Chains A and B, each alone.
Chain A
Amino acid sequence: MKQIALYGKGGIGKSTTAANLSAALAEDGLDILQIGCDPKHDSTRMLVHGTWIPTVLDLIRERGDTNITVEDVVYRGFGGVRCVEAGGPEPGIGCAGRGIIATFQLLERLDALKGDVIVYDVLGDVVCGGFAMPMREGYAREIYLVTSGELMSIYAANNIARAIARLSRRARSRCSLGGVICNAKNIEGERELVEEFARRINSRMIAYIPRSRIVQVAELQKQTVIEYAPESEQAGVYRDLARLVYGNDMTSIPTPMEMDEIESFALEFVQV
């Protein structure tokens, strides 16, 4: 079983990438479980044609955590991908991080964490210990950083690299960095910048996903690109990504950049 997690800045396209990755892997006949770990609970939406599936935490809130079955929390989407949304408290109250921990404990108790590949799609910033849960022992082994060439996105990716480096120092840690996925915004020199960023943090850019209008169109149709435009060039890009990730056995312990280093790095690439 391969367990991977996608982390990156909010709005960078993690969920789109994750959903298309899961869809492409499912096309190859693999059993996929995708878990959205974001209180916004929209990770798997394109896999289930835009429906809002009940979140684990909604169910816990309504019924308590003893009357929940696997069927209540796992929903089949495109290509048989099993979809789970952790959900969270109402915005502005409670503790979403603890919610992620409770979700994982429940999924484990229900024996739901299985399949050929588990894809964890985690919210933008590792704001607290709860959101680092997917990186802990027994969950995701490989982390993929999703970033564009925009600086804020690079900053966020660097922060997550810091969390991976920290967690990998723990004795029984098995989590490491699988690579950097560039989800392009069509900025000049973007590919080179992300490649160099990946190199500097002791990793590599595993895939470059060009910006394509078909992604937005498919989204409006509430589908993944794989399902909506299977013959499109972009679908091919996601299939390539899926095969690269599935076959990837090169991971590393990242060496995050310091703040001043990241700023001078930015200056090298940004055209002033």
Chain B
Amino acid sequence: MRSNPSPSSSSRFEGCTLTGALSVATEVRDAVCVIHGPAGCTHHNFSLLHATNLSNDRGDLPRLLSSHLLENDIIFGGEDALETALEQALALSPASIFVLSTCIVETIGDDVAAVCTKDRGVPVIPIPTAGFLGGVFETGVRNALSAVASLARPSSEKSISANLIGEKNLEYGVDENAAEVNRLLKRLGLPVNLRFVRGIMTRDVSRLGAAAVNILREPALRVVGEELKRRYGTPYIKSFPIGLGGTCRFLEEVGRVCGIDSLTAVEEERAYQTAMLERFDDLAGKRVCFQSPHPMLRGDPEVEAICAECADALGLIIDPDGVAIPSPYPPPVGTAGVGRMLNRWRVLIRERGR
């Protein structure tokens, strides 16, 4: 292995389909995830999920089981090993079981879906997650959201509420971002119906179709939004609110979709933003230069617009020789997200000033 891999060969932004799917499925807390493949696929993901949980002050262990495939299972077929793993999973009395495939079992053609159709008293749901088929982390997230959604039945009863769809469970600010969206929805009188999927139980999924609107975490989840719209008739907003103006437009859009007058909510939010920006008035007149946070990331016009918007609001001067500020990745969610971003800007500007 090279000690200093170049950014272009680090595959930092692709990821494994299996990991993406597990970041969703393990958030159904009373489910067990069976990973059909060699033990290493489970070990790596267990470590990653466990470490992420710990950094979010959660000590519980992700409920993963491996079918522990070895060479002979590959030669003779791994379906029996999957049966055994499912029995072990059932012994843990889960409310549901997700079965995730790996590269090798898709290569040899194990019929995971067929093994899952056997009645075992709890839902056993396959999620296709073989990474070598060209999918990335996000593919796994989408496949898992769609699989978890299959636990819900079509619902005609709607309540004035919203679902959060596809939160980034591995991002550091996942709960802060959800709290921010919750705060904004409250301005419109909309409670959150379901965090789909974060910290929920199998039975909670039945509420999936009951919301008046689905709020997608990011536009990449549009295909999930469309699927839920088809199944439950729920309209969707394509992204969490991004940036100052974006946050106000988010309120307007949710209001429009739900038939709620958003005028007052937007006015109150603008005042709240003005108060937030006043905390940063010491930054006026400072020279800054925005840079990509990583050489692998191309400039994102939306993110650049947010940086420009904030620089304008604070009276910052954009100058190639100014303090280098990495543009945010992922972009800040809501007014609170912008506030946290500006705190980081201030630290960078002060460090440079010393």
User: Which residues of A are in contact with B by a Cβ distance under 8 Å?
Assistant: 57, 60-61, 64-65, 88-90, 93-96, 98-99, 102
* Interface contacts beyond A57-B76, A61-B76, A98-B75: sample of 15 additional A-B pairs, CB < 8 Å, sorted by A: A60-B72, A61-B72, A89-B77, A93-B77, A93-B109, A94-B75, A94-B78, A94-B108, A95-B75, A95-B107, A95-B108, A98-B74, A99-B75, A99-B76, A102-B75
On whether A65 and B79 interact (CB within 8 A), knowing A94-B108, A95-B108, the answer reads no
Other-chain residue from A88, A90, A93, A102 in contact with B71 (beta carbon distance below 8 A): A102
Query: Closest Cβ of chain A: how far from B138's Cβ, in Å?
Result: 30
Q: Is A57's CB under 8 angstroms from B75's CB?
A: yes
Closest to A99 in B: B75
Query: Closest Cβ of chain A: how far from B354's Cβ, in Å?
Result: 59
A99 to B71, CA, bound (A): 9
Closest to B73 in A: A94
Closest to A89 in B: B76
Query: Closest Cβ of chain B: how far from A64's Cβ, in Å?
Result: 7
Please name 16 pairs of A and B residues whose Cβ atoms are closer than 8 Å in the assembled complex, sorted by A: A60-B72, A60-B75, A64-B72, A88-B75, A93-B76, A93-B110, A95-B74, A95-B75, A95-B108, A98-B71, A98-B74, A98-B75, A99-B75, A99-B76, A102-B72, A102-B75
Q: Is A90's CB under 8 angstroms from B77's CB?
A: yes
A99 to B75, CA, bound (A): 5
Interface residues of B in 74-118 (CB under 8 A from A): 74-79, 107-110
Q: Is B76's CB under 8 angstroms from A94's CB?
A: yes
Query: Closest Cβ of chain B: how far from A228's Cβ, in Å?
Result: 35
A61 to B107, CA, bound (A): 20
The contact size tier of chain B is 10 to 19
User: Which residues of B are in contact with A by a Cβ distance under 8 Å?
Assistant: 71-72, 74-79, 107-110
Query: Closest Cβ of chain A: how far from B36's Cβ, in Å?
Result: 14
Enumerate chain A residues within 8 angstroms of B107, measured Cβ to Cβ: 95
Closest to A57 in B: B75
Closest to A96 in B: B75
A69 to B75, CA, bound (A): 20
Query: Closest Cβ of chain A: how far from B29's Cβ, in Å?
Result: 35
Give the one of A60, A64, A88, A98 with max B CB within 10 A: A98
Query: Closest Cβ of chain A: how far from B221's Cβ, in Å?
Result: 35
A60 to B75, CA, bound (A): 10
Q: Is B77's CB under 8 angstroms from A94's CB?
A: yes
Closest to B70 in A: A64
A165 to B108, CA, bound (A): 27
Query: Closest Cβ of chain B: how far from A131's Cβ, in Å?
Result: 13
Q: Is A65's CB under 8 angstroms from B76's CB?
A: no
A65 to B107, CA, bound (A): 23
Q: Is B72's CB under 8 angstroms from A65's CB?
A: yes
A200 to B23, CA, bound (A): 57
A98 to B69, CA, bound (A): 14
Closest to A64 in B: B72
Enumerate chain A residues within 8 angstroms of B110, measured Cβ to Cβ: 93
A88 to B75, CA, bound (A): 8
A262 to B76, CA, bound (A): 37
Query: Closest Cβ of chain B: how far from A93's Cβ, in Å?
Result: 3
Enumerate chain A residues within 8 angstroms of B78, measured Cβ to Cβ: 94
Query: Closest Cβ of chain B: how far from A158's Cβ, in Å?
Result: 27
Closest to B110 in A: A93
A60 to B78, CA, bound (A): 15
- 8 smallest CB-CB distances across A and B, nearest first, come from A93-B77, A94-B77, A99-B75, A95-B108, A89-B76, A94-B76, A98-B75, A94-B75
A85 to B24, CA, bound (A): 47
Closest to A65 in B: B72
Query: Closest Cβ of chain A: how far from B114's Cβ, in Å?
Result: 11
Query: Closest Cβ of chain B: how far from A94's Cβ, in Å?
Result: 4
A217 to B74, CA, bound (A): 40
Enumerate chain B residues within 8 angstroms of A64, measured Cβ to Cβ: 72
Closest to A100 in B: B75
Closest to A60 in B: B72
A94 to B110, CA, bound (A): 7
Enumerate chain B residues within 8 angstroms of A96, measured Cβ to Cβ: 75
Enumerate chain B residues within 8 angstroms of A102, measured Cβ to Cβ: 71-72, 75
Enumerate chain B residues within 8 angstroms of A90, measured Cβ to Cβ: 76-77
Closest to B104 in A: A95
Enumerate chain A residues within 8 angstroms of B108, measured Cβ to Cβ: 94-95, 98
Closest to A95 in B: B108
Enumerate chain A residues within 8 angstroms of B79, measured Cβ to Cβ: 93
Enumerate chain A residues within 8 angstroms of B71, measured Cβ to Cβ: 98, 102
A63 to B206, CA, bound (A): 47
A89 to B80, CA, bound (A): 13
Query: Closest Cβ of chain B: how far from A73's Cβ, in Å?
Result: 15
A64 to B70, CA, bound (A): 11
Enumerate chain A residues within 8 angstroms of B77, measured Cβ to Cβ: 89-90, 93-94
Other-chain residue from A61, A65, A94 in contact with B74 (beta carbon distance below 8 A): A94
Closest to A88 in B: B75
A93 to B111, CA, bound (A): 9
Closest to B108 in A: A95
